[in-house]
Amino acid sequence: MTTSQTPETILQKANQWLTGNYDTSTKEEVRQLVESADNTALIDAFYRDLEFGTGGLRGIMGVGSNRMNIYTVGAATQGLSNYLKMAFASLPQIGVAIGYDCRNNSRLFAETAAGIFSANGIKVYLFEDLRPTPEISFAIRELGLQSGIILTASHNPKEYNGYKAYWDDGSQIVEPHDVNIINEVSKVKVDDIKFNGPKENITILGAEMDEKFLEKVVSVSLSPDIIRRQQDLKIVYTPIHGTGVKLIPMALTRMGFNNVIHVPEQDVVSGDFPTVISPNPEEPAAMKLAIARAVETNADLVMASDPDADRLGIAIKNDKGEFILVNGNQTVLIFLYYIISKRKELGLLKGDEYVVKTIVTSELVVDIAKKNGVHYFDVYTGFKYIAEVIRENEGIKQYIGGGEESFGFMPLDFVRDKDAVTSCALMAEIAAWAKDNGRSLFEMLQDIYMTYGYSKEKMKYVVRTGKSGAEEIEQMMVKFRNNPPKQLAGSPLSVVKDYETLREKNLITGTEKAIDQKITANVLQFFTVDGSKVSVRPSGTEPKIKFYIEVKDSLNSPSEYDTVEAKTNLKIDQVMIDLGL
């Protein structure tokens, strides 16, 4: 395709960047895109404007309206500033916290945003160096601020960066504020961005905030006596080149663990992530070095956090002494099983406790909650919806844990987002608790399955990049919405839930009812007669369509585990075939 075939709207946008108030190097890069014989990169850079999704603003770094750069960051910050000044007009001073991770340009984008907030008369609290996402959420509440941002693309590849925005309760922004901010951002022209505010409006945050945060982290402990007995538990931890490098080992030490084993190659802070292709603890390759270190040292537990330290991945020893990866659903089950069991033991379950999961997370969470008299809530993907439930139940019910299948958990509510720092501390305690009771984490997981039923999950995603990819993903959703499968792995569909229309249809009885959610979402769910569940949704932050598959079975004894796992793996394979994957 030649430049002459480039859509006029794309050329008009590119020309605005060539003639507008952009710096010389940016204009030169845009000029090279325009003059290139292949216009694919030009179209991808300008075919849309980045918008807030489930995780905020996120995209590939580079020039253009669909890229992460100082101008898209600037427009987001100016728009957020404008909205904050409207939403908190009665306050004498508005304050925001700014954090950033290890990614290339994260510091530049953070300083750019700080200057813009300052120029708009907003007081800025900028962290002195990279910090975990959960600490930014904590700092907003601790300092009584109205908003905050962190520059991070979470677990995405190195080409990406992102911008997560938070409200005054430390939660990522939800409706109506997210829509209102998008509207404000869409009005911002490059000439409207106030780039260079006075440095007097910027306060640097450092060790003092770390101390306050760590005090809260260690308050998660329910078994301090057991930690004292198991203080030599061997824990391998890797930050995968990211922000957990400092605070997570500190948190484990503060909890009482004195045998934290590092992975030196991955303690190197780098936005290039030199030891991995993707810095995602969901990916087996990202855990390879840590597991090798665990084998070498005969460790009890392996833990990893992603670059902004909100996601937690773990590996445990199976009954053959081999380290295996634990998926995100299993991690949530282990956390909630421990929290509920320990609270029962300590007499801390009073009847007003509740847990929260996302709709794509294992239904075993519901079974665990129901059988223990604990309330539960189902929410959309994204911890901002978990935080919304907490906000609505403040002073009414007690939050004791919540998580999602994508390796995120939030043990306590002093942070209102995924929190790998506190989760690492608590998971280490759970491993100590199991060991103190003569059990392994693997045996503990088997106990959960024998008590509440066996569940096997798999997430499959299809990547489609660029404008054409976005259109293909949209068509895939239309197809599944209009022509849902009749059966999955031999079991007929019993229920279809469409969160775009907020309608649930029972295919057995023919009846319909409303789905109890405040807003719509582009998500479909298929439930089968035998208890399987498939959820389909486009990612809000990546060029993917995701399929979440869960199949059920029963486990009567540990000796059956391998057989049941193999059986359910085959069932998942068949479900994928039936979905055309």
Distances (CA, A) of 162 to 95, 116, 153, 462, 479: 21, 17, 4, 21, 31
Distance CA 111, CA 108 (A): 5
Q: Provide the 3-class DSSP secondary structure of residue 172.
A: strand
User: Collapsing DSSP states into helix, strand and coil, what is residue 58?
Assistant: strand
Pair 372, 340: CB distance under 8 Å: yes
Task: Check: CB of residue 222 under 8 Å from CB of residue 427.
Answer: no
Cα distance between residue 254 and residue 479, in whole Å = 52
CB 50 within 8 A of CB 72: yes
**Marked catalytic residue, from 154, 171, 406, 440:** 154
Distance CA 131, CA 136 (A): 8
Token pair of 362 as six digits: 């294992």
Q: Which two tokens stand for residue 119?
A: 């120029």
Paired strand residues for 544: 463
- At 62, which amino acid appears? G
Q: Active-site residue 154, yes or no?
A: yes
- CA distances, 324 to each of 103, 157, 161, 181 (Å): 29, 24, 30, 43
| Distance from C-alpha of 20 to C-alpha of 27, rounded to nearest angstrom | 9
Kindly list the distances between the CA atom of residue 90 and the CA atoms of 25, 84, 85, 132, in Å, as whole numbers in the listed order: 41, 11, 9, 31
Nearest to 326 by CA among 412, 450, 444: 444
User: 357 phi and psi, to 5 degrees?
Assistant: -135, 165
Nearest to residue 389, comparing CAs of 371, 370, 376? 376
DSSP string, 249-308: HHHHHHHT---EEE-GGGSS--TT-TT-SS--TTSHHHHHHHHHHHHHHT-SEEEEE-TT
CB 99 within 8 A of CB 310: no
User: Mapped to the 3 state alphabet, what secondary structure does 357-376 carry?
Assistant: EECCCCCHHHHHHHHCCCEE
DSSP annotation of 7: -
**DSSP secondary structure letters along 53-85:** BTTBEEEEBSSSTTSBSHHHHHHHHHHHHHHHH
Max Cα separation, the chain?
73
Joined tokens for residue 133: 């996402």
Q: For residues 373 and 348, what is the distance between their CA atoms, to the nearest angstrom?
A: 13
Q: Which of 93, 80, 215 is nearest to 144 (CA)?
A: 93
Number of CB atoms found within 10 A of residue 558's CB: 14
Instruction: Say if residues 154 and 310 touch (Cβ distance below 8 Å).
Output: yes
Catalytic residues: 154
